[in-house]
Amino acid sequence: MPLSLPTEFRVLVTGGAGFIGSAVVRRLLHESDAEVFNLDKIGYASDLASIGDHPRHHLLKVDLASAEETDAAVRQADPDLVMHLAAESHVDRSIDGPGLFIESNILGTFNLLQSVRRHFEQLSENRRDRFRFHHISTDEVFGSLGSQGRFSEATAYDPRSPYSASKAASDHLVNAWHHTFGLPVVLTNCSNNYGPWQFPEKLIPVVILKALAGESIPLYGDGLNVRDWLYVEDHVDALLLAATSGQIGDHYCVGGAGDHGSPSERSNRDVVETICSILDRIKPQDVPYASLIKRVSDRPGHDRRYAIDSSKISRELGWKPKHSFEEGLKATVEWYLHNLDWCRKVLEKAGYEGQRIGITDQSSVSGS
Ligand code: NAD
Ligand code: DAU
């Protein structure tokens, strides 16, 4: 049991049927004795296969947009720690339907904060002393970088997509509930996660599945937008450290690492070509997979570059990523290759066939 949590500890994880939340739930179940309450509306991107049946896992199928359901769930969970991951998370979907992002990410966070505040105020002194509300956020709240610099805890907020604006709003609400109502909060802002069990609508699983199906691989715009990639299990390490040892009221930025601790910033073109060359080695076809890469119209408002300075969480909490981008990406490609049935199942359940989403009339076609 490497996680040292107090005895009879109760954790409420929201969004625990999603990509990152399910990795948090698995870790809590396998590495602690905590009772884990998983509050999730079970949306299109949810799946519980990676968790399976476990006597300490309690699913609460609740939509945070409902104040009553949220309140009842918080009372049932009676938590010592809340890890709030539930959110609509895909930028392209926020362009097609921003309303759901406002509802889940802003109203949902508000409802949760109100219920948790009531819960916190009636806890015994002993439990109140150890209680934490951990809000899991994104580097996208900081906006878009040029070719230089990195986001840190001191960077001003400048969100530019409906998704990032809704996450920024939720961060502000969490800070306000701390300063005004004394809720003991910790916030983390992380870069792009990748790894097994990610719903195949985000770049890395999309590229793997399109390549294996022999379909064209869509590269938005000029393909030179840069992201800072972090293997999901390394993010979970950071989350559990921040949740249990983070300073109340503090923010921690979390980002990735490449070979030998170098930065894990990569252009999309670089990521796509690397996936193609891994596939060329492990599942060769007559022609190189890279021949399938096709530039398509850009994402409206496409942020150019994200890069994270993780030095605060490394220095203060001793976190560092264990997986280089090169190792993590290879493991991820292999995982998808061996789990194509799961991909088919979740795509079918979601009614999503891999078509392009998130383009408005203003998007211009750039490239062939
Ligand atoms: P995901 O889309 O895979 O999972 C999100 C889960 O939240 C889903 O199971 C969904 O059903 C649930 N959910 C959404 N709205 C809800 C609501 N109103 N009520 C109850 N449940 C609801 O997302 P993810 O990639 O696992 O991201 C989890 C969190 O981490 C999000 O808050 C996201 O902003 C943040 N984050 C993600 C990344 C990334 O690269 N994926 C990076 C940094 C931060
Ligand atoms: O930075 C953290 C964020 O990372 C999280 O907060 C979000 O929840 C998560 O979805 C992710 O957002 P991105 O928009 O960066 O991820 P996505 O995988 O959608 O896109 C990554 C990059 O790849 C982006 O520049 C757009 C581009 N792209 C994406 C897809 C799906 C393509 O070129 N082709 C594609 O088919």
**Model pLDDT for residues 48-61, shown as the tens digit of each residue:** 999 999 999 999 99
Whether residue 348 has pLDDT greater than 90: yes
Pocket of ligand 1 (CB under 6 A): 15, 17-21, 40-43, 45-46, 63-65, 85-89, 104, 108, 136, 138, 167, 190, 192-193, 199
Q: How confident is the model at residue 32 (pLDDT cuts 50, 70, 90)?
A: very high
Confidence of residue 362 (pLDDT cuts 50, 70, 90): low
Amino acid at 226: V
Give one DSSP letter per residue of 1-66, joined into a string: --S---TT-EEEEETTTSHHHHHHHHHHHHH---EEEEEE---TT---TTT---TTEEEEE--TT-
pLDDT on residue 82: 99
pLDDT at 34 over 50: yes
pLDDT of 365 higher than 60: no
User: Is 357:96 a contact under the CB 8 Å cutoff?
Assistant: yes
Taking the domain 203-226+264-301+324-350, which CATH number applies? 3.90.25.10
> Which of 44, 268, 310 to mutate to test ligand 2, by most ligand atoms within 8 A of the CB atom?
268
Q: CA 164, CA 107: separation in Å to the nearest integer?
A: 15
**Closest atom of ligand 1 to CA, residue 192:** 40
- Mean pLDDT of the 123-129 span: 97
Structure confidence by residue, pLDDT tens digits, 207-225: 999 999 999 999 999 999 9
Q: Known catalytic residue: 289?
A: no
Q: How far apart are CA 33 and CA 26, in angstroms?
A: 12
Half-sphere exposure at residue 114, Cβ-oriented, CA atoms within 13 angstroms = 15
**What sign does the CA torsion over 239, 241, 242, 244 have?**
positive
Q: How confident is the model at residue 360 (pLDDT cuts 50, 70, 90)?
A: confident
Ligand 1 center–CA 26 separation, angstroms: 16
In the chain, CATH 3.90.25.10 covers: 203-226+264-301+324-350
Active site residue 341: no
- What is the pLDDT averaged over residues 260-277? 92
Would you state the pLDDT for residue 1?
52
Domain with CATH 3.40.50.720 in the chain: 10-195+229-254
User: In the structure, which protein residues have their CB atom closer than 6 angstroms to any atom of ligand 2?
Assistant: 89-91, 138-140, 191-192, 202-203, 206, 218-220, 225, 227, 268, 299, 306
> What Cα–Cα distance (Å) separates residue 30 from each residue in 11, 35, 56, 86, 328?
14, 11, 10, 21, 21
Beta bridge partners of residue 267, listed in sequence order: 226
Query: Which amino acid, 46?
Result: S
For the chain, percent of residues with pLDDT exceeding 70: 97
The active-site residue, picked from 40, 71, 139, 265, is: 139
pLDDT of residue 367: 38
Give CA separation, 225 vs 107, 209, 259, 296, 366, in Å. Answer: 31, 21, 21, 13, 14
User: What confidence score (pLDDT) does residue 289 get?
Assistant: 98
Mean pLDDT of the chain: 96
Predicted confidence at residue 363, as pLDDT, reads 47
In the predicted model, is pLDDT for residue 364 greater than 50?
A: no
13: confidence class by pLDDT, cuts 50, 70, 90 = very high
Rounded to whole angstroms, how far apart are CA atoms 281 and 208?
13
> Residue range 316-320: average pLDDT?
96
Nearest to 224 by CA among 143, 333, 149, 146: 146
CA distances from 139 to 11, 16, 153, 163, 312 (A): 25, 20, 10, 12, 15
**Helix 325-338 to helix 268-282 angle, to the nearest 10 degrees?**
60
Determine contact, residues 147/126, Cβ cutoff 8 Å: no
Structure tokens at 298: 């850009």
Catalytic-residue membership of 140: yes
**The domain 10-195+229-254 belongs to what CATH superfamily?**
NAD(P)-binding Rossmann-like Domain (3.40.50.720)
The residues, any chain, with a CB within 8 Å of residue 208's CB and separated by 6 or more, are 200, 275, 279, 332, 333, 336, 337
